[in-house]
Amino acid sequence: MLDTSPISHDVTSVRAAVRSPRRLTTEVLAGLVTSLALIPEVISFAVIAGVDPKVALYTSCIMAMTIAFVGGRPAMVSAAAGATALVVAPLVASHGIDYLIAAVWLAGALQIAFAAGGLARLVRFIPRSVMIGFVNALAILIFSAQVRHLIDVPWLVYPLVVGGILMVVAIPRLTTVVPAPLIAIVVLTSVVTLFHLDVPDVADQGELPSGLPTWMIPDVPMTWETLTIIAPFALGLALVGLLESLLTAKLVDDITDTPSDKTREAWGQGVANMAGALFGGMGGCAMIGQTMINVKEGRARTRISTFLAGLFLLVSCVTIGDVVGAIPMAALVAVMVVIAATTFDWHSIAPRTLRLMPRSETLVMLVTVVGTLATENLAVGVIAGVLTAMVAFARRVAHMADVTVSGDDERVYRVTGQLFWASSNDLVHRFDYVGDPDSVVIDLTAAEVWDASTVATLDTVQHKYAERGKAVRIVGLDGASLDRLQRLSGRLG
């Protein structure tokens, strides 16, 4: 059916799920509750991007159903997302929907190209502290997105939200047959309908579509000027979408204890974006909050739930829009608040953890969180966190290089540690060019030469001794370090 993933784990197998009525029921119900949670979020992202809510909803339907076939992470949900909406909003405002569709097309093609180039494999270089910051920032963003639904609303909203939270938390202790969020949504919707309570509902968020999506070819001139207009937005959309999707895939890997194919997920996102653009889509990526609902609350593990989330979203909007529109926002807010609370890594901010954790790693986590919250963009926060981690690592390793001096008639400098641009810059000042004898040995047996900067520094040291008529021998290197020195020495200017 949909199981074309190379993942061999039975828990993610569509065939195994179909053969088990209990597991199939879990996947179906998880897809249903995820589709309901998608609607208000997607509509709000449409407002951010400046497009009709129908555009975002159609995008989400097509992307979710497409990624179920071509993606590399089973049970992850892709749809119109806030991060990508922020990227394309200026293009929509300045050039309209046709240029947006062209940009999404190009972004999808770029994501496929990036996947072919191995970009997805770089996700393994993201440190754990950045991942913790990513998770914590995600939880804060999910919670803060619900705050607007709790301001200037009838007082009845608050007891409904509290009741919904209690149900989502308590029901799993009694039964796990039906997802607790689905029960909470059904109960609260029934209460609001039965007692005719005047509270905000899904219909208040925007108009739901009443028909199926149709093909849409962008009406833009095929010129160099058009390319220069859409290319920056397409590149931003491609990179932000890939980064958020790959990090979400890594998070789901950890939650489910199953691996995923990151390269396949990367080109799958490109295919899904191009498919969405065929129907006038606004572009998107992995939806982190809804993925957490699908995986954590719904306990879904296969592609079935992802496909059905898109299918249910399309069917419910087109055929039972009035019923979906009657769902009180309080029910969905309650679900998302619980998701935010369970997603946040509370252990990471415990006093004992902060005392034990190196300050540099705590700083990296904080930079990731602050960068994300300041820009409301998880990709920006993650990039800031990775850069901070790189600087912290370079600073820490730079202090591991040391020099000891021995000998009288022949001065021997024994250099130990990892020599690269950060640690070798001060190396040139560790030698006594005037006071040393005519014969000098630089022993690098306990050192590694990692880059051209170190070779240039060693060349400088030799040059300074040569100016004073003194001979220098470099000994102790082998393997890649020796090869790097022989290949670059004297050729760097």
What Cα–Cα distance (Å) separates residue 312 from each residue in 211, 235, 305, 329? Answer: 14, 31, 10, 19
Q: What pLDDT, in 10s, does the model give residues 151-169? A: 999 999 999 999 999 999 9
Q: Which stretches of the chain score pLDDT less than 50?
A: 1-8
- Minimal CA–CA distance to 55: which of 283, 261, 264, 363? 283
The whole-number pLDDT of residue 427 equals 84
Which residues, at least 6 apart from 264, have a Cβ–Cβ distance to it below 8 Å?
A: 5, 6, 70, 71, 72, 115
Q: What pLDDT, in 10s, does the model give residues 371-394? A: 988 887 777 888 899 999 988 887
Interhelix angle 262-278/53-70, nearest 10 degrees: 140
The whole-number pLDDT of residue 6 equals 43
Which residues, at least 6 apart from 259, have a Cβ–Cβ distance to it below 8 Å?
A: 7, 9, 253
- pTM given for the model: 0.76
CA 251 to chain centre: 9
The whole-number pLDDT of residue 3 equals 45
CA 367, CA 145: separation in Å to the nearest integer?
A: 21
The whole-number pLDDT of residue 493 equals 66
DSSP 8-class letter at 328: B
Q: What angle do CA 375, 237, 344 make, to 5 degrees?
A: 45
- Minimal CA–CA distance to 28: which of 179, 248, 186? 179
CA 182, CA 5: separation in Å to the nearest integer?
A: 29
Strand pairing of 285-286 and 78-79? antiparallel
CA 329, CA 105: separation in Å to the nearest integer?
A: 33
The first and second tokens of residue 7, run together, are 């993942």
Interhelix angle 21-49/329-343, nearest 10 degrees: 100
Q: Taking phi first (over 0 means left), then psi (-120 to 50 degrees means alpha), and beta for anything else, what does residue 418 get?
A: beta
What Cα–Cα distance (Å) separates residue 309 from each residue in 10, 100, 478? Answer: 21, 25, 57
DSSP 8-class letter at 208: P
C-alpha distance across the termini of the chain, in Å: 62
Q: What pLDDT, in 10s, does the model give residues 117-162? A: 988 888 778 888 998 998 898 889 888 888 888 999 999 999 999 9
What's the count of helices (H) and strands (E) in the chain, helices before strands?
A: 20, 7
Q: How many other C-beta atoms are found inside a 10 Å radius of the C-beta of residue 258?
A: 18
Q: What pLDDT, in 10s, does the model give residues 393-414? A: 877 777 777 899 998 889 999 9
Which residue carries 């619900």 as its tokens? 146
- Minimal CA–CA distance to 440: which of 461, 417, 419? 461
- Which residues are 403's β-sheet partners? 415
Which residues, at least 6 apart from 436, have a Cβ–Cβ distance to it below 8 Å?
A: 411, 465, 470
- Minimal CA–CA distance to 417: which of 390, 437, 398, 435? 398
The first and second tokens of residue 51, run together, are 């497009």
- Return the H-helix or E-strand segment holding 473: strand 471-475
- Which residues are 474's β-sheet partners? 442
What Cα–Cα distance (Å) separates residue 326 from each residue in 154, 256, 321? Answer: 16, 33, 9
Q: What pLDDT, in 10s, does the model give residues 27-59? A: 999 999 999 888 888 887 887 788 888 888 889
The whole-number pLDDT of residue 23 equals 93
